[in-house]
């Protein structure tokens, strides 16, 4: 079992180093502000300042399983601008990945019902391998890729996004990610097929949903769909979500199914009291490795602050 775990994570490290895989949080559908995790145009969209902390423990039960820590702050600036700051720290075995995002958004209205936003994101990523990876039995000495990341390797990236809401109940948006890295791959000719250019729209996140207000039951239902192609992923990820709010959305429950290669099912529980929000989700995979894992956990603590009128 120990050798199996070692083999899995050493293979994961090599994949992460070569592809720089994107971390995927589940808690992007808690509100417009939380969607800043997947779309820079959502920064400041709700008109309130929000501070959010995320913790995701992936594949618990494996030794040195991946863990991702995130902190997110977004706020409106005046009546038209939004600003967001996102910090990720990802750890998987001996790999440490620090990612910093600065999101900018410009909001405007179209009539009385439409609110629309366009956004831009800049990112810096620093990937580092712990020195004790050199003692790994599976390591091939002289591996240039491993040597390059022992001292840390940084890279810049950018993304653009568009987000809109109709009467605050119907929402949707798309973000185009990895614009810089995509261009660098195109220039270097290191794509999957030599001589073939990569598309600027290759990596994206599309989201769409609608919230139904059932006033007679004091209940809200919010189905949503998210489709995304992430850097390093073999195929598109498709999330089908259903979130329910009870007692004026003071209690939250939900289900989420992620198809494709992930093939996972997650349950969500949470509470919203004034400006304090607490959420927990647990997801299991239908893949064979679930026999060796006890699932994945994600926790979000968020605070909302009303902005002064000025």
CATH number of the domain enclosing 77: 2.40.160.40
Is 298 inside a domain boundary? yes
Other CB atoms within a 10 A radius of the CB of residue 151 amount to 9
Rg of the chain's alpha carbons, rounded to an integer? 20
Domain interval for residue 118: 2-305
Helix (H) or strand (E) holding 2: helix 2-19
How many domains, in total, are found in the chain? Answer: 1
* pLDDT value of position 137: 63
Cα(60)–Cα(15) distance, rounded to whole angstroms?
20
Q: Cα dihedral angle (274, 209, 234, 230), rounded to 10 degrees?
A: -50
Asked if 254 contacts 268 with a C-beta cutoff of 8 angstroms, the reply is yes
Is 310 inside a domain boundary? no
Is 208 inside a domain boundary? yes
DSSP 16-83: HHHH-PPP--STT-SSTTGGGGT-GGGTTTTSSEEEEEEEEE-SBTBTT--EEEEEEEEEEETTTEEE
Asked if 84 contacts 70 with a C-beta cutoff of 8 angstroms, the reply is no
pLDDT tens digits for the chain (310 residues)?
444 444 444 445 444 444 444 556 788 888 877 888 889 999 999 888 999 999 999 888 887 888 999 999 999 998 899 999 999 898 887 788 899 999 999 999 988 899 999 999 999 998 888 766 666 666 666 666 666 666 778 889 999 999 999 988 999 999 999 888 766 655 445 554 444 445 667 889 999 999 999 988 899 999 999 998 877 666 788 999 999 999 988 999 999 999 877 789 999 999 988 889 999 999 988 888 777 788 899 999 999 887 655 4
Is 110 inside a domain boundary? yes
Is 129 inside a domain boundary? yes
Single pTM value for the model: 0.81
**What token pair was written down for 9?**
């994570």
* Residues 6 or more apart in contact with residue 161 via CB below 8 angstroms: 39, 40, 41, 42, 118, 119, 120, 121, 173, 174, 175, 176
* Residues 6 or more apart in contact with residue 80 via CB below 8 angstroms: 106, 107, 108
What is the residue whose two structure tokens read 């997947």?
38
Three-state DSSP state, 218: coil
Cα(247)–Cα(226) distance, rounded to whole angstroms?
27
Parallel/antiparallel/unpaired status of strands 219-229 and 237-246: antiparallel
Task: Name the residue among 223, 230, 200, 37 with its Cα closest to residue 119.
Answer: 37
C-alpha distance from residue 214 to each of 19, 123, 248 (Å): 45, 40, 10
């Amino acid at each position: 079992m120990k050798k199996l775990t070692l083999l899995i994570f050493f293979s994961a490290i090599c994949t992460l180093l070569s592809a720089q895989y994107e971390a995927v949080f589940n808690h992007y559908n808690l509100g417009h502000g939380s969607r800043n995790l997947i779309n820079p145009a959502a920064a400041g969209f709700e008109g309130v300042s929000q501070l959010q902390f995320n913790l995701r423990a992936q594949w618990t039960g494996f030794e040195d399983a991946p863990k991702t820590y995130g902190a997110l702050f977004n706020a409106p600036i005046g009546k038209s601008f939004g600003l967001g700051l996102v910090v990720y720290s990802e750890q998987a075995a001996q790999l440490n990945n620090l990612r910093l995002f600065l999101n900018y958004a410009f909001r405007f209205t179209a009539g009385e019902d439409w609110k629309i936003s366009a956004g831009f994101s800049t990112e810096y990523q620093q990937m580092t391998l712990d020195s004790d990876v050199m003692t790994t039995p599976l390591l091939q000495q002289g591996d240039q890729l491993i040597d390059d990341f022992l001292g840390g390797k940084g890279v810049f990236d950018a993304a653009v996004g568009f987000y809109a809401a109709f009467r605050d109940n119907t929402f949707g948006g798309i973000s185009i990610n990895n614009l810089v890295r995509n261009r660098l791959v195109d220039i270097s000719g290191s794509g999957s097929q030599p001589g073939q250019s990569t598309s600027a729209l290759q990596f994206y996140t599309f989201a769409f949903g609608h919230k139904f207000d059932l006033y007679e039951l004091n209940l809200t239902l919010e189905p949503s769909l998210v489709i995304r192609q992430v850097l390093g992923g073999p195929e598109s990820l498709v999330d089908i979500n259903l979130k329910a709010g009870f007692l004026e959305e003071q209690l939250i429950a939900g289900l989420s199914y992620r198809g494709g290669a992930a093939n996972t099912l997650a349950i969500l529980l949470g509470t919203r009291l004034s400006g304090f929000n607490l959420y927990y989700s647990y997801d299991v995979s239908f893949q064979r490795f679930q026999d060796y894992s006890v699932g994945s956990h994600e926790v979000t603590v968020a605070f909302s602050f009303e902005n002064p009128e000025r």
